[in-house]
Amino acid sequence: MYRLDLGVVFLVAFGLGPWRTLRTDFGALLWTAVVLMGAHYFSEWRYWYPGPAIAAFIEPWAGRLRAFMQNRIDQAATGMLHGFLYGVLLGDRSELTPFFQEGFRTFGISHMLAVSGFHVGFWVVLGRPLKGLFRLRRWRGLYVLLMGTFLCIYAAVVGSGPSVVRAVGTFCFAAIALQQNWRIAPLHWPLLVAWLMWCYDPEVVQRLGFQLSFSAVCGILIGLNGLPAAEFLQSWQGESLAGSKFKVLVPVQVSLSAWTATLPLVMHHFGGASPYFLVGNLLIVPLFVVYIWSALLVLLFGPLLPCWALDVWNSSFERWVSWVLKTAEEINRQGLLESFFQACLR
């Protein structure tokens, strides 16, 4: 759908990388040529790939997991919180009003409502105690297998969108590499997943979700190049942060990198981008993260929690979201950042 001047492509590919070797550049060019020349064969290959067999295994388990999560959310959450949890945990945004979604767009935090690596990380961290059962090196692969299987089932629960498939595939590859002590740059894994997704379904690259997801993750990994956080944001395992502190400015770098990388697509498809994305991601998202963590605990221990605790949980979320949406409405009406800080002072 897009045309590029080949001169620009060669300038970026070869002129900006003097530290690379001729051998690796030639190998990349040869591999690209082979893939492009054989691309038309994939249209025939697609008809016999083992997709139906994989779906036949995953779908029954996905149905059970979805029913369990729906039941626990229905029992514990009401009102806005119920719709929010359906959106961020089940990928079902049918209960979210246009006013609610517009407020999220105003602050540039709509990514919270699209299940992706941000949400997959919650499940990986929650399942981290499972890793303690496989301390021996020869058993580490079993942990990755179990967690990867669960995440594949969860991906089916939320609709198997490009973002969550990318996140699950990246986790599996990055976790295996980390367990085996392979020295592979983090940027390779999402690119490998993108190539595999294209092999599985060549039409996926035309979907906006695919373009936004991979643009964002590549922008983040380029922005975090050389930092341990780049590995952590893919494998979600503490070993990747060994010997280094998780720096305070990393969330700022993540937000800026993702916003910058996706800006051309957002401007083209949506006609504009939120100038308040940094405020939203640094000041508003953290509290929503607290509610997501509390929701995961409710999914596990909901029947054991007292009713008054659930009432406080729901009412506090109602007040918090009402404040966020009213602030977003005032910002949209006045178009001034000062209105946000005035709301904070009130």
Is there a domain that residue 21 lies in?
no
State mean pLDDT over 25-30: 77
Say whether pLDDT at 1 is over 50: no
- In 10 A of CB 218, how many CB atoms? 18
Residue 6 in domain: no
Are residue 226 and residue 167 in the same domain, yes or no?
A: yes
Task: Tell me: do 301 and 152 sit in the same domain.
Answer: yes
The region of weakest confidence among 38-47, 84-93, 156-165, 172-181 is 38-47
Give me the torsion for CA of 218, 220, 226, 230, rounded to 10°.
-100
Tell which residue, 117, 106, 222, has the closest CA to residue 161: 117
Q: Tens digits of per-residue pLDDT, 58-108?
A: 888 888 999 999 999 999 888 889 999 999 898 888 888 888 888 888 888
Tell me how far apart the alpha carbons of residues 62 and 74 are, in angstroms, rounded to a whole number. Answer: 18
- Neighbour tally for 280: CB within 10 Å: 25
Give yes or no for a contact between 127 and 150, defined as CB atoms under 8 angstroms apart: yes
Q: Is residue 257 part of a domain?
A: yes
**pLDDT above 70 as % of the chain:** 74
Is the residue at 156 inside a domain? yes
Q: Which of 274, 301, 323 is the last residue of a domain?
A: 274
Q: Are residues 147 and 185 in the same domain?
A: no
CB neighbours (10 Å) of residue 26?
10
Distance CA 55, CA 62 (A): 10
Residues shown for the chain: 346
The total number of structural domains that make up the chain: 2
For 116-142, b where at least 16 C-beta lie within 10 A, e where not — what string?
A: bbbbbbbbbeeeeeebeebeeeeebee
| Cα–Cα distance for residue pair 195/271, rounded to 1 Å | 29
Contact call for residues 51 and 59 (beta carbons, < 8 A):
no
Does 15 reside within a domain?
no
Confidence band of 190 (pLDDT split at 50, 70, 90)? confident
| DSSP-assigned letter for residue 194 | H
In a domain, 14, yes or no: no
- Where is pLDDT greater, at 252 or 174? 174
pLDDT in tens, 325-345: 888 888 777 765 555 555 555
| Whether 341 and 213 share a structural domain | no
Question: Using DSSP, how many helices (H) and how many strands (E) does the chain show?
Answer: 18, 0
Cβ within 8 Å of residue 308, ≥6 positions away: none
Full residue range of the structural domain in which residue 115 is found: 50-160+276-346
Domain boundary pick from 274, 294, 313? 274
Is residue 28 assigned to a domain? no
User: What's the mean per-residue pLDDT of the chain?
Assistant: 78
**Average pLDDT, integer, range 7-33:** 65
Q: What is the DSSP string of 162-191?
A: HHHHHHHHHHHHHHHHHHTT----TTHHHH
d(CA 292, CA 313): 11
In the chain, which ranges are E strands? none
More confident: 18 or 94: 94
Residue 12 domain-assigned (yes or no): no
Instruction: Select from 274, 302, 333 the last residue of a domain.
Output: 274
Angle at 239 between CA 237 and CA 240, to 5 degrees: 80
Q: Within this chain, do residues 310 and 215 fall inside the same structural domain, yes or no?
A: no
Q: Are residues 268 and 346 in the same domain?
A: no
Do 60 and 127 belong to one domain? yes
Predicted confidence at residue 68, as pLDDT, reads 92
CA–CA gap between residue 331 and residue 134 (Å, rounded): 51
Q: Are 191 and 155 in a shared domain?
A: no
